[in-house]
Chain A
Amino acid sequence: MEPAEERGERVQSVGWKEMYLKEDWWAIWLGLGIIIVAYLFYINGSTIKWITITPSRWSNFGQLWTSFSGHIGQYIAQFILWCIIFGISMRAMGHKLSEFFPSFLFIYVVAVIIFIIGAWDKAHYYNLEPPLVALVVGMLIANTTGLPKWMDTGFRVEYYIKTGIVLLGATLPFTLIVWGGPVAIAQAAIVSVTTFLVIFFIATKMGLDKRLAATLGAGGAVCGVSGSIAIAGAVGAKKDAAPIAITLVIVWAIVMIFFLPGVSRVLGLSTGVAGAWIGTSEFADAAGFAAAKAYGNLAGNVAGIAGSPDDAVNAFTLMKVVGRDIWIGIWALVLAVIATTRWDVKTGVKPNAGDIWWRFPKFVLGFFVASIIMTLISSQYSLAEYKSVVVPVLTGPIKAMRTWAFIFSFFSIGLTTRFRELASVGAKPFWAFSAGVVVNVALGFILSTVVFVTYWQTLSSH
């Protein structure tokens, strides 16, 4: 048999080459690239608005057809633009463009349809929120007829959501991050540490291996599947630990996409408070954004839900990205130290503090930079000028591109959620993880709706 390296199963350390070999960096280049190009158009008296088209609101098919057919060239141009920017990066990361392009064409066409459904003036009445429609349609396809496996090349959930998060930075004032960040970190720290300890304690009491327990704990407490995989590698877990955690995170994340906005709606939580709760208690970025966006869209459309759509997304981002995601490197280092000094060791070297950097989710840097850039630009205007001059031609189009990236991601979650392919987990990991879910959701609710409620309710005033 030929060596693993020749079969493409082993690759050398990427080190700083990750700047063009990992999707986190590509999300930065694409996100900031779009923002810079938008700004260059803006200072030259123009705008990228033409190519960032989204379906406009409609109430009957005649209106829909007139609106859509008049802009079909713009949709084609936008599709080509996405193909170019994603195509270059996908190629650099070693993916086959012959698989990516047709797969992405499918995603784009369905995304347009999902957008159109969401733009129907009765969509809210029938709960047809685009994030949830994308997810459900994707899951129906994946778990019924299915699609060829090669199409997975285009279903890059994480890449799309990371690109969207960098673009989101352009609409989230850096002053808000500075103001809300410490609260988010405090709330996230309380919930993350508690959830991890609950899962770890129960799992080990049930007799599960400590490394599996840590892998499960990180999935429930830090950043879902990515957290589980990072910790599994850091502590040297058995090969089947990560797939067990992946199954549990996916199942509970899908449940929470519907549960958290559903309960928030019944209780009439404001969008900022609900966004904070979702950010605390949802298990993955993409799943959480789907829930937060779906709930945010209810503001102004459903009676009794205060706040703006942006409040839900902003609060979620502060809690999940700033409060939880950026600490994964530290979690990995601490657990690696414990694993190599306290637990039974088969293989191992002294953990390296440099791993905090190498495991850092770099796309967050792009999110911060985007926020700083746009905050500096907008500081030159009064609030009224910003809303009338900057939003329509600069931040508005960037926000439209972000929404597209998010829909690509939500649809991809559905398309890749194939329940029959997930690893079986067994009763003990299930109960240990589920106990953490219960504690996480309850504690997240109390912190978001009682302890820190003032911060999340007044988010938009800062």
Chain B
Amino acid sequence: MKTKTEFKRCINCAHFRNSPAYLERVFKGMITLSSGDASVRKDDGICGVHDIYLSADNQCDQFMAGD
């Protein structure tokens, strides 16, 4: 069972976007020599609040439950 801290990771935040299709759309040229489906990307995604690309394991005080 997830603890409250674990749940507050970016992966569960409404501001976080990390689907392969979304990233391939936003990162122009990504599919030319890489891919949204690659292992090296792990679950990383874009935070709409801080405007940064970061690990899904991160947390911040502006977390907003996304589901």
A243 CB within 8 Å of chain B? yes
Give bound CA distance, A423 to B41, whole Å. Answer: 20
Stretch binding the partner chain, chosen from A120-128, A152-160, A170-178, A449-457: A152-160
The reply to whether B19 and A236 form a contact with Cβ atoms under 8 Å apart is no
The reply to whether A158 and B67 form a contact with Cβ atoms under 8 Å apart is no
Stretch binding the partner chain, chosen from A43-51, A111-119, A245-253: A245-253
Give bound CA distance, A241 to B26, whole Å. Answer: 12
Query: Which residue of B has the minimal Cβ distance to A419?
Result: B29
A84 nearest CB across to chain B (Å): 19
- Chain B residues near A346: list those with CB within 8 A: 50, 52, 60
Query: Which residue of B has the minimal Cβ distance to A228?
Result: B34
Interface positions, chain A 204-247, Cβ under 8 Å from B, are 223-227, 229-230, 232-234, 236-239, 241-243, 246-247
Interface positions, chain B 20-55, Cβ under 8 Å from A, are 20-22, 24, 26-35, 37-47, 50-55
- Chain A residues near B26: list those with CB within 8 A: 239
A347 CB within 8 Å of chain B? yes
Given A158-B38, A250-B33, A3 contacting B14 (CB threshold 8 A): yes
The reply to whether A5 and B66 form a contact with Cβ atoms under 8 Å apart is yes
Query: Which residue of A has the minimal Cβ distance to B19?
Result: A11
Give bound CA distance, A327 to B61, whole Å. Answer: 33
Query: Which residue of A has the minimal Cβ distance to B53?
Result: A232
Given A18-B39, A358-B42, A243 contacting B29 (CB threshold 8 A): yes
A352 CB within 8 Å of chain B? yes
A402 CB within 8 Å of chain B? no
| Size band of the interface chain B makes with A | 35 or more
- Chain B residues near A413: list those with CB within 8 A: 32-33
Stretch binding the partner chain, chosen from A267-275, A359-367, A383-391: A359-367
A314 CB within 8 Å of chain B? no
The reply to whether B66 and A10 form a contact with Cβ atoms under 8 Å apart is yes
B24 nearest CB across to chain A (Å): 8
- Chain A residues near B55: list those with CB within 8 A: 233-234, 236, 336, 349, 355
Give bound CA distance, A246 to B24, whole Å. Answer: 12
Query: Which residue of B has the minimal Cβ distance to A149?
Result: B25
Give bound CA distance, A359 to B40, whole Å. Answer: 4
- Chain A residues near B43: list those with CB within 8 A: 11, 13-14
The reply to whether B37 and A93 form a contact with Cβ atoms under 8 Å apart is yes
Give bound CA distance, A237 to B53, whole Å. Answer: 6
A contact face: mostly helix, strand, loop, or mixed = helix
The reply to whether A157 and B32 form a contact with Cβ atoms under 8 Å apart is yes
Given A4-B16, A236-B58, A226 contacting B38 (CB threshold 8 A): yes
Query: Which residue of B has the minimal Cβ distance to A211?
Result: B52
A395 nearest CB across to chain B (Å): 27
A95 nearest CB across to chain B (Å): 8
Q: Which of B11, B34, B66 contacts A229 (CB 8 A)?
A: B34
Q: Which of A9, A152, A159, A234 contacts B37 (CB 8 A)?
A: A159
Interface positions, chain A 333-369, Cβ under 8 Å from B, are 336, 346-349, 352, 355, 358-363
Tell which of A23, A93, A242, A243 has the most Cβ of chain B within 10 Å. A242
The reply to whether A233 and B19 form a contact with Cβ atoms under 8 Å apart is no
A416 nearest CB across to chain B (Å): 4
Query: Which residue of A has the minimal Cβ distance to B34?
Result: A225
A285 nearest CB across to chain B (Å): 8
Given A225-B32, A247-B29, A8 contacting B37 (CB threshold 8 A): no
A167 CB within 8 Å of chain B? no
- Chain B residues near A23: list those with CB within 8 A: 35, 37-38
A residues with CB within 8 A of B? 3-5, 8-14, 18, 21-25, 93-94, 152, 155-159, 223-227, 229-230, 232-234, 236-239, 241-243, 246-247, 249-250, 253, 283-287, 328-329, 332, 336, 346-349, 352, 355, 358-363, 413, 416-418, 421-423
**Contact sample, A vs B, 30 pairs, CB 8 Å cutoff:** A5-B66, A9-B19, A10-B11, A10-B19, A18-B39, A156-B31, A157-B31, A158-B31, A226-B34, A233-B53, A233-B54, A234-B44, A236-B53, A236-B54, A238-B52, A239-B26, A241-B53, A242-B53, A246-B28, A246-B29, A250-B32, A284-B34, A286-B33, A328-B40, A349-B9, A349-B57, A352-B57, A361-B38, A413-B33, A416-B29
